[in-house]
Amino acid sequence: MTDHTLLDSIDSPARLRALPRTQLPQLAEELRAFLVDSVSRTGGHLSSNLGTVELTVALHYIYNTPEDRLVWDVGHQCYAHKVLTGRKEGMGRLRMQGGVSGFPKRCESEYDTFGVGHSSTSISAALGMALAAKHKQDDRKVVAIIGDGAMSAGMAFEALNNAGVADADMLVILNDNEMSISPPVGALNNILTRLTSSKTYNAARQAGRHMLGFAPPLLELARRAEEHVKGMISPGTLFEEFGFHYYGPIDGHDLDALLPTLENIRKLKGPQFLHVITKKGQGYKLAEANPILYHGVGKFDAAEGIQAGKGGGKLTYTQVFGDWLCDMAAADSRLIAITPAMGEGSGLVHFAKQFPNRYFDVGIAEQHAVTFAAGLACEGLKPVVAIYSTFLQRAYDQLIHDVALQNLPVVFAIDRGGLVGADGATHHGCYDLSFLTCIPNMVVMAPSTEAECRQMLSTAYHHDGPSAVRYPRGGGNGTLPDTQLDPLPLGKGELLRQGKDVALLAFGSMVAPALAAGEQLDASVANMRFIKPMDAALVEELARNHSLLVSIEENAVVGGAGSEVSRILESLGLKTPLIRLGLPDRFIDHGEQGQLLADLGLDAQGIVAQIQQAWNPA
């Protein structure tokens, strides 16, 4: 264990602010070492957090938190913040059941001013807080910290557009860690930023504008001259046009530059914008060399790093999708793959290398991804949108209005359906079956095995309309798919086990525990396959030949697949009792995937127990 002598003395930002500035570099060094050691033991987001150590120290040192509000975007950069705000000991149970969340969470700490998990929300939330402070006449500062990837989302620009004219006292910090906006910066930029953020510079600028206001042509000449000069030394013209005062770029790892700049900006009124350059994985050479590999990690040896080939295991649904996509693209030149900044997570790496001209990563812009796909479909191409369930929620209007309403053949490969584990409530895919099934023209499927997943993807691809294949994180029962691209019969389920009295109608990931439960109960078990169109003939057959039906899904029980079973029974005039099992009507916290399902009664034993408790045959 690395020595953290100074860090151990910091249990709150107030203790941090009591330190002399000369000790802050040592604190940052200890904090970075602690994060590497801690995350290697628990897993979590590493490289992005290592990139914000100095920035976090500087923010809590200059701003009077929690009275001043820090709003973190996404939360992949908040671990240092959690350590400095009294949760250092809790980091040992990071993202574990009952432990510290991997994201800012209002109920966890007063320093977590806004709960996040999805990107690009920070500027909107910070603007709301800043205007609330103005309304209540509170002398409070508000800071939004947003990454350059999150800045690609339309919501961020909507907020900037509003904030620039709202006359709010707020600071937006762009944490640029991919050099995607600016070239490398050095001492000259740090000096210029420190100078232009000072009260002297801003007072002189305002005085000059006041004096030149009596001669409008001179004022316009001066404004253009200032923009021209600033344009040569910084990329801030865009943000100035939004109504912000732009400062930067500045080295986000240089406390001698960060501290005085933040100190100067904190004294200013109106919307301010600070552009800092950071490096993902900073201070940990392995993460610096491969920040993508070390973005989200499991447990690993901090000295050796992540070892290629270790912890392999069975084929995942994500890999099945990636292999199918390459095979289908080879067979059909019309196929186009789209992802909103989730190429690695969605299994598109090999496709991007094999078919670079047919691969589009549109950035963190889910709404655009869906409507972009609709435009491609209008012209006869076959778009496949690879997206996590939790992120598809952000493009619901586009899904309805731009795809389904026009009945366009867009395939949605929906990863991380159901509970995802350690990322918790913001990332669980609990609602897709509910919000997809109610949309006209949609076909919705959920595979129970890897082989079935490949068949369903082919079914979706050949369907002349919008379709979705929803699969969970991880793998299924280990059934290896063949290389065929044959579709399934549309809307047809299958009876896997013939029993008596009770029939279990299982969907997707719940087929395996349903089969195990069926053995204990001597129940019939159906793999329903399709949520929409559901196999009404199979539902009718099971209802007429059994005393009880039980629908089982890894989705919100409200409005989910069980609701569709109920609708079919009602339409047929059948009175067979139906028990609907699924995720409860509450947000589910983080924890190990299998344990969460067991706690919710969605493993085999839980299914048996719930049925026995609810059903008392005469």
Give the strand pairing for 494-497 and 524-527.
antiparallel
Q: What is the largest CA-CA distance in the chain?
A: 95
Contact 143, 67 (CB under 8 A): no
Amino acid occupying residue 232: M
List beta partners, residue 549: 503, 578
- CA separation (Å) from 398 to 240, 375, 405, 406, 433? 31, 12, 10, 11, 17
DSSP string, 9-27: G-SSHHHHHTS-GGGHHHH
Question: What counts of helices (H) and strands (E) characterise the chain?
Answer: 25, 19
Q: Can you tell me whether residue 297 is helix, strand or coil? A: strand
The alpha helices in 393-510, defined as continuous H runs, are 396-398, 432-437, 450-462
Catalytic residue among 54, 366, 553, 564: 366
d(CA 277, CA 587): 36
Query: Which among 510, 463, 458, 426 is positioned nearest to 105, based on CA atoms?
Result: 426
Catalytic residue among 32, 141, 280, 382: 280
> For this structure, is 223 an active site residue?
no
Contact 263, 198 (CB under 8 A): no
- CA separation (Å) from 70 to 145, 252, 282? 8, 17, 22
Contact 95, 590 (CB under 8 A): yes
Catalytic residue among 32, 266, 279, 394: 394
d(CA 251, CA 253): 5
Query: Which among 555, 610, 243, 604 is positioned nearest to 430, based on CA atoms?
Result: 555
DSSP string, 111-164: T--S--SSSS-HHHHHHHHHHHHHHTT----EEEEEETTGGGSHHHHHHHHHHT
Structure tokens that stand for 230 in this block: 């600033």
Query: Which among 544, 510, 543 is positioned nearest to 528, based on CA atoms?
Result: 510
Q: In the Cβ-directed half-sphere of 22, how many Cα atoms lie within 13 Å?
A: 0
Amino acid occupying residue 182: S
The alpha helices in 573-603, defined as continuous H runs, are 593-599
> For this structure, is 394 an active site residue?
yes
Residues annotated catalytic, as ranges: 280, 366, 394
